[in-house]
């Protein structure tokens, strides 16, 4: 796989689009990003000391309904990386990795479909390694969680190594720790509490609202976890 390193770039997810016309998997890493992008149109803090990486992959005949496998794999690679530095990570459904109750990493996936298949996927991963997070109470770095300095280069190397190794959906589920807990769901104008029951292979979260068990997609709801 081709791997490209840049000192700085607007967003690795945007930069990597120049390879969309090819067919070879590519990884682009940057030391900083000037326009790091998060999910839901948010920006993503991308200063010195973080890992900012995008992988462009061309899955082989992956049905569109299995596209969540790519997200799950990305989250697993981050969890394996955190574990390599002695940290106990958790996946906060669907696309964040947490350590010590704070956000360690975010993932932004952009997909291209051809008919019923996933044609390409841009997997953008940002991991806090040794960046200054003193202004952000809700985030944590690998260095803070490990209690020792974790250089961004080391974290990046591990992340690439882990991303290249395949994973299973069971491995993804092993990092989900909030099942059975009460979560607060916001679905349009409705807000209610429910019990998180399961994460399905297509990425939907099964919840029990006391009346029935339903499966919700991340696009439809937002939720607060760990209420109990
Ligand atoms: C989120 O937490 O909302 C997702 C953040 C994704 C950030 C990564 S950093 C590498 C890649 N380039 C971007 O502009 N975003 C992703």
The pLDDT-based confidence of 172 (bands split at 50, 70, 90) is very high
Total number of residues shown for the chain: 228
Pocket flag, ligand 1, residue 108 (CB < 6 Å): yes
Mean pLDDT estimate for the chain: 93
User: In this structure, what are the phi and psi dihedrals at residue 43, rounded to the nearest 5 degrees?
Assistant: -90, 165
The pLDDT-based confidence of 226 (bands split at 50, 70, 90) is low
CA distance 82 to 89: 6
43-71 mean pLDDT: 95
Cα of 213 from ligand 1 centre, angstroms: 32
Joined tokens for residue 105 = 């990493």
The pLDDT tens digits of the residues spanning 93-118 come to: 888 999 999 999 999 999 999 999 99
Residue 107: strand pairing partners: 125
Pocket flag, ligand 1, residue 12 (CB < 6 Å): yes
Mapped onto helix, strand or coil, the DSSP state of residue 204 is coil
CB 172 within 8 A of CB 198: no
Is residue 40 predicted with pLDDT exceeding 90? no
CB 80 within 8 A of CB 73: no
Q: Measuring CA to CA, which residue among 54, 32, 30 is closest to residue 45?
A: 32
Q: What is the pTM of this model?
A: 0.94
């Amino acid at each position: 796989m081709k791997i490209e390193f840049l000192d700085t770039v607007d967003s690795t997810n945007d930069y990597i689009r120049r390879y969309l016309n090819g067919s070879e998997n590519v990884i682009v890493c940057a030391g900083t990003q000037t326009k790091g992008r998060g999910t839901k149109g948010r920006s993503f803090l991308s200063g010195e000391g973080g890992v900012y990486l995008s992988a462009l992959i061309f899955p082989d005949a992956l049905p569109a309904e299995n596209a969540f496998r790519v997200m799950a794999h990305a989250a697993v690679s981050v969890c394996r990386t955190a574990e390599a530095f002695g940290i106990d990570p958790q996946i906060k459904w669907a696309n964040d990795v947490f350590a010590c109750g704070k956000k360690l990493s975010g993932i932004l996936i952009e997909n291209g479909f051809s008919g019923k298949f996933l044609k390409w996927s841009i997997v953008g991963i940002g991991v806090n390694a040794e960046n200054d997070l003193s202004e952000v109470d809700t985030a944590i770095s690998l260095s803070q969680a490990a209690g020792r300095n974790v250089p961004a280069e080391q974290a990046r190397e591990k992340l690439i190594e882990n991303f290249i190794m395949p994973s299973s959906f069971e491995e993804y589920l092993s990092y989900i720790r909030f099942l059975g807990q009460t979560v607060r769901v916001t679905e349009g104008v409705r807000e209610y509490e429910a019990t998180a029951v399961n994460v399905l292979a297509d990425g939907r979260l099964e919840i029990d609202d006391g009346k029935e068990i339903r499966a919700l997609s991340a696009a439809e709801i937002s939720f607060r976890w760990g209420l109990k």
